[in-house]
Each structure stands twice: as structure tokens, then as C-alpha cells.
Amino acid sequence: NAMTGYAVIVTKSTVPVGTNRQVAEVVRKTRPDIEFDVASNPEFLREGAAIDDFMRPDRVVVGTTSEKAEAVMGEIYRPLFLREFPILYTDLETAEMIKYAANAFLATKITFINEIARLCEKTGADIKQVSRGMGLDGRIGNKFLHAGPGYGGSCFPKDTAALARIGQDYSCPMEIVETVIKVNDDIKRRMIEKVVDLCGGSVNGKTIAIYGVTFKPNTDDMREAPALTIVPALVGGGAKIRVVDPQGKREGEALLPGVSWMDDAYAAAEKADCVVILTEWNEFRALDLQKIAATMETARMADLRNIYSEKDVRKAGFADYVAVGR
């Protein structure tokens, strides 16, 4: 009802393919008197780097079949276009699909390297060097090839699930994406086994320091974080959990009952039986490992982000160390 003349209605959200066409139908029924166009303009912004990503995008995608709407959107993005960032004009369905396909591909890339990491553990290969060897191939690239405890966050879980559902709705199963979702869940659960094995087969009565619970560093976002699978399982196994995370407490307090929140990584490790690195915050990349090992009950580390080397950890006095794919 706010429209008084020609307007372009822009959808920024990631929406199921066909949504923008439905929006156009609804508006046309509601306001047959007004000329308008609908455009799909999906966002490609990373949490913790949104302003930078907006100002320096890899690409801007605009879905519309109207030249008039194209001109309006071109004018809006002119400051970016002048800086030679590509603007891709497509129809509505293509723009909607690009966003899902891009996120599902990145989720697949992460899950692929996590599955290779598991095979590396069995064969004695080192996933860090495998990732480097793969990433130096220009066709593959080195991004999203870091083995870890599985993907989480607001986008990848939601968008892979949505793409799988869209495939079902159109009787065109997205079998690779469906497998990625399943394997990612398995990977998170496998991390629990790593910690339990490190603690001698049981965590009952053990004190465990968890470094980082958000799905990635530089955000307080806990959505679908691997910690939400791993930490409750350890609590359920009888462990006393101390959590250190620069921003995780705000959301994590309600989501992770039965844990103690601490501000200091060194205090959390005192008299602990094991430390687990779950999120690769910068604060955890340069710890005084010797100082930590010296105060622990049993110096054991599960480095689930591969930020240290086994050599350095053992040299610092840790008796046991486990990583991912090494």
C-alpha cells in the first residue's frame, strides 16, 4: 500500500526458487493499479566481514526480466560497478538458484576435505599437505579446504537443506547435497569419539576445557555449530566442561546447559584432563602450550582445527595429542 508509483521490489533474502515470481503475483493482485517489477538480488556476505564483502564483492547478481528494473538496479550498484566488480543480470529463477548452488558447493567442498581427512587418518597421510597440494591447483583453489569438525552457521545448513527440499519438490533429487548433509552430521559425531578415545574410552568425571564454541571465529553465532553436537554429548558422558569463547556466552549460555563459562584459557586448563580446540579464534592460535600443559591434571589436547603441530604440542609437554586428518 505504500507504493505511489513505479517501484522495483527487491528480495535480498535467500528464498526457494520461484518465490520472486509468487511475490510478483501477490503484488499484482493487491495493486493492479500500480506499475512495478520484482528483482532477486541475493546477498553474498560472510558473517564477521559483511561490510568488506558488500564494498568489495566477487560479483553482484540481479535477477529480473525487466529492462526498467535492470536500469534501476544498475544505478543503485553504479558506485561498485565503477570499481569494476562484475554485475550479472539473469532471470528470477537463475538468481535464486545461483545463491543455493554457491552455498551448497562450498558446503560440499568443506565436507569433501573432511571425508578425505578421515581417510588420511587411516592411511597415514597428512590432510594439511593434501589440502595444500589440492589447493595449489587453480581449478580447485585453496579456500574451504581446511579439515575440521564440520560446517555450521546460519547459511550452509539451511541452504543445503532447502536445496535438497527443492530437488524433492521437483522430483529431481539432489543426491550429492543430501549426502553432504548426512556426512557433515557424521563428522560432528565422530569428533565426540575422538575426545572420548583421547580420554581413555570414557569422559565420566573428567574435566575438559573447550576452547571456542561459536560456529566460526569473529562471530557470536551458535547456529548449527559443531559445539552443539559435541559439548552436550560430553556433558551426557559425565564430563565437567569449562568453556572459553570470546563471544559465545551470549547465545551459548541457553544452548549449552551444564557447562561453566570462563574468560581465561589458562584458568580453564588448570587441573583439566583434556583441552579441546573447537573454534579457531586468534586468541587460541598463540597459546603458551608449556604453561597450559604444566597446570593440567593430564596434558591431553584434541586440536579439532589443526592449528598446532603435533611436534610443538608434544615438545610443550602434552602426553597425548589428536587432530583431524593427521
Asked if 155 is an active-site residue, the reply is yes
The beta-carbon contacts of 120-129 under 8 Å, at least 24 apart in sequence, are 120/325, 120/326, 121/324, 121/325, 121/326, 125/325, 126/325, 126/326, 127/306, 127/324, 127/325, 127/326, 128/306, 128/325, 128/326
Rg (C-alpha) for the chain, rounded Å, is 23
* 3-state class (DSSP) for residue 242: strand
**One-character DSSP codes across 148-188:** -S---SSSHHHHHHHHHHHHHHTT---HHHHHHHHHHHHHH
CA distance 86 to 279: 33
* Dihedral pair phi/psi, residue 56, rounded to 5°: -130, 65
CA distance 262 to 242: 7
Element (H, E) at 275: strand 274-277
Of 155, 172, 199, 274, which residue is the catalytic one? 155
The C-alpha cell of 279 is what?
Answer: 573454534
**Catalytic residue positions?**
155
